[in-house]
Chains A and B, each alone.
Chain A
Amino acid sequence: MSATQQDVRFVQGNEACVRGALYAGLRFFAGYPITPSTEIAEHLAENLPKVGGTFVQMEDEIASMCAVCGASLAGSKSMTATSGPGFSLKQEAIGYAAMAEIPCVVVDVQRAGPSTGLATKVAQADVNQARWGTHGEHSIVTLTASTVQDMFAVTVEAFNIAEAYRTPVILLFDEVMGHMRERLVIPPAGELPVTERLRTAVKPGVNYHPYLPREDGRLPMSDYGDIHRYHVTGLYHDIWGFPTEQPEQVNKLVHHLVDKIEGRVHELARWKEFYLEDAENVLISYGSAARSARHLVETRRQKGHRVGLLELQTIWPFPKDLVREKTANAKNVFVVEMNMGQVMAQVKQAVDNPDHVYLVNRVDGTLVTPTDIGNVMRVIEGKGV
């Protein structure tokens, strides 16, 4: 720590995520070693027991995600972290958490795939997997960040959303963000809001219905081990948590699972914007790719070009209205990402003129560069490369 009173550190993005999780009250982590997310497990193995929390290295990614579900039901704020193939393995229990409405945070430090792909190289190709990786109809929240400081902040936010809406939240980072070091200022406790779990006020001896929403739609929880004993299942269930195949109840639950998130798009949208007011060319990006986009925007603005950046920190639920509004006056929209256009497809659906949406990508395991972006823009502007 530096001489000042502030807690200032020079750390990797992965450690910033750990610090954010601890700030938010993480008390249980289960994981399995996998590059490029392993540092998260290593830092938590050291730091969780210091606050009386539990770190466990499970036998595989499946078990890690299951243990997270269990620990969360027992009352602990819980998280796991993974990359690439591990994210695929976790999908089964992510679906369970979505169905049983278990608050938890899943970090995916993206690397190039499919399969083992490039274990140590960057990609952003898990965007759609974050949304649709597990089977069946559901919705999910996915956040991302482009600085070490923001990784801290969105991690805190991820726990807040998970606890408030009883949902798994995916933190979709990438290799570049996970491994790069930058200055991190950890705010004093209380400066950033931390949402605590809503627990039931139902008294002993009175029936507690774990899946009966309150007026405001929220479901108060009861920790395993407390007075209320109830059932949790991955099957469609009634207000008691007991399996049901009643079409009416099944239908109601599907809508509840989707609406509780899709109905809060505006509330959940986090973004940053730079020079959008008069921008003719709007870049849309996220994660490490947004750093390259910002670099280009700053350099071009110095030359008087009317170019701006919309950096998305919430990817799911996709903030359609926001994208539409922010690009309303743009001649061209360039989506900068390291995949074959996963966010671009969403942007095309959001805007009035999808023909003016272009993809600037890189899928070779290296960070997309400002030059890559500039080249595509020149071509579209009719200036050649």
Chain B
Amino acid sequence: MERYRFLLSGSGGQGVITMAILLAETAALEENLTAVQSQSYGPEARGGATRSDVIISDSEIFFPKVLQPNILVALTEEASSKYLPLIRPGGLCLYDCDLVKPNPRVDAEQIGIPMYKNVLAKLGKAVAFNICVLGALTTLTGIVKLSSLEKVVERRFAKAHFASNQEALRLGEELAQPYMAQV
């Protein structure tokens, strides 16, 4: 398989790092793939642009950082303008079309989905936004199975949150379905 280099970005509080850990853990523990996750620490991790790198492969991963992502998730305008220029030509950029404007000059498949709005409307609260994004990302890339991701989500969080997380995952999947032809 090709090596997947994810750069997940947004602002503090959007759950970007949790998203990265869930994705990488699913690959490493449920799909028998190799995964490495890292993140930037320090003052810049609080507010401003938050970033977390995930590399997934079926062989050993050595260099653990993502210099040029082939898959970028941008959840704020700031994150998009900072990281979109790094994307590999022809890469995939998933963004929230209510939070981020696309940049047609960058050579990438840019898919904007109104995830935030839908999470608010269907789940009534924003907490599961990152889980919904993960649902959409998993659907678009097919790198891990949604059912595997669901297992990890169930294990990682309190039982009380599982139903709404499950709903958020399905919502992400549903919202991403119409774009499958583009990836």
A residues apposed to B, CB below 8 Å: 2, 8-10, 35-36, 119-121, 175-176, 179-183, 288, 291-292, 294-295, 298, 367, 369-370
Question: Could you tell me the distance between the alpha carbons of A119 and B40 in the complex, rounded to whole angstroms?
Answer: 12
B37-81 interface bits toward A, Cβ cutoff 8 Å, 1 = contact, 0 = none: 111111101000000000000000011110100000000000000
**26 residue pairs A–B, Cβ–Cβ below 8 Å:** A9-B29, A10-B24, A10-B29, A10-B35, A35-B41, A120-B41, A120-B42, A120-B43, A176-B65, A180-B38, A181-B24, A181-B25, A181-B35, A182-B28, A182-B35, A183-B28, A183-B34, A183-B35, A291-B62, A291-B64, A292-B62, A294-B62, A295-B62, A295-B63, A367-B65, A370-B63
Interchain CA distance A291-B62 in the complex, whole Å: 5
In the complex, what residues of A have CB within 8 A of residue B40's CB?
120
> With an 8 A cutoff between CB atoms, is B171 at the interface?
no
Contacts of A294 in B (CB 8 A): 62
Q: B21 and A181: CB pair below 8 A?
A: yes
Taking A176-B64, A181-B24 as contacts, is the C-beta distance between A2 and B30 under 8 angstroms? yes
Taken together as a complex, chains A and B put the C-alpha atoms of A176 and B41 apart, in Å, by 10
Residue of B nearest to A177 (CB): B64
- Closest B residue to A294 using CB positions: B62
Contact status A182-B36, CB under 8 Å? yes
* Residues of chain B contacted by A181 (CB below 8 angstroms): 21, 24-25, 35-38
- Please list the 10 inter-chain residue pairs (A to B) with the smallest Cβ-Cβ separation, ordered nearest first: A120-B42, A295-B62, A10-B25, A120-B41, A181-B37, A295-B63, A180-B38, A183-B28, A294-B62, A291-B62
Interface centre among A9, A119, A291, A294, by most chain B C-beta atoms within 10 angstroms, is: A291
Q: Once bound together, how far apart are the Cα atoms of A369 and B29, in whole Å?
A: 27
Q: Which residues of B, 1-53, contact A by the 8 Å Cβ criterion?
A: 21, 24-25, 28-30, 34-43, 45
User: CA of A338 to CA of B64 in the docked complex: distance in angstroms?
Assistant: 16
Q: How far is the CA of A2 from the CA of B151 in the complex (A)?
A: 10
Known: A10-B24, A183-B34, A183-B35. A369 touches B41 (CB 8 A): no
Cross-chain contact B41 with A10 (CB below 8 angstroms): no
The B interface, classified by DSSP as helix, strand, loop or mixed, is: mixed
- Given the known inter-chain contacts A2-B30, A183-B34, please indicate yes or no for A298 contacting B62, CB distance below 8 A: yes
Q: Which residues of B contact A295 (CB under 8 A)?
A: 62-63
Distance from A371 Cβ to chain B, minimum over Cβ atoms (Å): 8
Q: B91 → chain A, closest Cβ, in Å? A: 19
Chain A residues in 8 Å Cβ range of B43: 120
Cα A183 to Cα B64 in complex, Å, equals 13
What is the CB-to-nearest-CB distance from B170 to chain A, in angstroms, rounded to a whole number?
23
User: From residue B34, how far is it (CB to closest CB) to chain A in Å?
Assistant: 7
* Contact of A10 with B21 in the complex, beta carbons under 8 Å: yes
Asked if A183 meets B29 with Cβ closer than 8 Å, knowing A291-B64, A298-B62, A367-B65, the reply is yes
A182 and chain B: residue at smallest CB distance: B36
Residues of A within 8 A of B67 (CB): 369
Interfacial chain A residues near B34, Cβ < 8 Å: 183
B28, B35, B62: which has the most chain A beta carbons within 10 Å? B62
When distances are taken between beta carbons in the complex, the residues of chain A under 8 Å from B42 are: 35, 119-121
Neighbouring A residues of B25 by C-beta, 8 Å = 10, 181
Residues in B whose Cβ lies below 8 Å from that of A119: 42
Chain B, residue nearest A10 (CB):
B25
Chain B residues closer than 8 Å to A298, beta-carbon distance: 62
Note all chain B residues with C-beta closer than 8 A to A180.
36-38, 64
Residue of B nearest to A292 (CB): B63
